[in-house]
Amino acid sequence: MIALERDVAGATAFLQDKTGPRTYELGIILGSGFSNLVDLLDTELIIPYEEIPHFPKTNVIGHSGKLHFGKIGSKSTMIMQGRFHFYEGHPMATLALPVRVMREMGVQILILTNAAGSINEAFVPGDLMIIEDHLNLSFANPLAASDHVKFGVQFPDTSRAYPTELIDIAHETARSLNLTLQQGVYVFTTGPNYETPAEIRMMRKLGGDAVGMSTFPEALTACHAGIKIFGLSMISNYGSGMSDQSLNHDEVVATMENIKHKVSGFFQNFIAKI
Ligand code: HPA
Of the pLDDT bands very low, low, confident and very high (cuts 50, 70, 90), residue 64 is low
- For residue 258, pLDDT over 80 is answered with no
The catalytic site residues sit at: 32, 63, 85, 87-88, 115, 213-214, 237, 249
pLDDT band at residue 3 using 50, 70 and 90 as cut-offs: confident
Residue 195 Cβ inside 6 Å of ligand 1? The answer reads yes
Q: Is 90 exceeded by the pLDDT of residue 174? A: yes
pLDDT for 29: 97
Q: Ligand 1: does its nearest atom lie under 6 Å from the Cβ of 115?
A: yes
Task: Indicate whether 1 pLDDT > 60.
Answer: no
pLDDT at 169 over 70: yes
Distance 212 CA to ligand 1 centre (A): 4
CB of 239 sitting under 6 A from ligand 1:
yes
pLDDT band at 146 (very low <50, low <70, confident <90, very high): confident
* Model pLDDT, residue 204: 98
Task: Compute the distance between CA of residue 108 and CA of residue 145 in angstroms, rounded to an integer.
Answer: 23
- What is the best residue among 247, 249, 255 to mutate for testing ligand 1's pocket, by most ligand atoms within 8 Å of CB? 247
Report the distance separating Cα 208 and Cα 230, nearest Å.
Answer: 18
Q: What percent of the chain has pLDDT over 90?
A: 76
User: Which atom of ligand 1 is closest in space to residue 213's alpha carbon?
Assistant: 3
Which of 36-45, 54-63, 196-205, 244-253 has the weakest average pLDDT?
54-63
Q: How many domains does the chain have?
A: 1
Residue 112 pLDDT more than 60? yes
Q: What is the 3-state secondary structure (H, E, C) of the chain?
A: CCHHHHHHHHHHHHHHHHHCCCCCCEEEEECCCCHHHHHHCEEEEEEEHHHCCCCCCCCCCCCCCEEEEEEECCEEEEEEECCCCHHHCCCHHHHHHHHHHHHHCCCCEEEEEEEEEECCCCCCCCCEEEEEEEEECCCCCCCCCCCHHHCCCCCCCCCCCCCHHHHHHHHHHHHHHCCCEEEEEEEECCCCCCCCHHHHHHHHHCCCCEEECCCHHHHHHHHHCCCEEEEEEEEEEECCCCCCCCCCHHHHHHHHHHHHHHHHHHHHHHHHHC
CATH number of the structural domain spanning residue 158: 3.40.50.1580
**Residue-number span of the structural domain to which 85 is assigned:** 2-273
- Per residue in 6-63, pLDDT (tens digit) is 999 999 999 999 999 899 999 999 987 788 899 999 999 999 998 999 988 766 554 5
- Residues contacting 73, CB < 8 A, separation 6+: 271, 272
| The pLDDT of residue 266 | 95
- pLDDT of the residue at 235: 93
Question: Is the CB of residue 214 less than 8 Å from the CB of residue 85?
Answer: yes
Query: Is residue 2 predicted with pLDDT exceeding 60?
Result: no
pLDDT of residue 108 exceeding 60, the answer is: yes
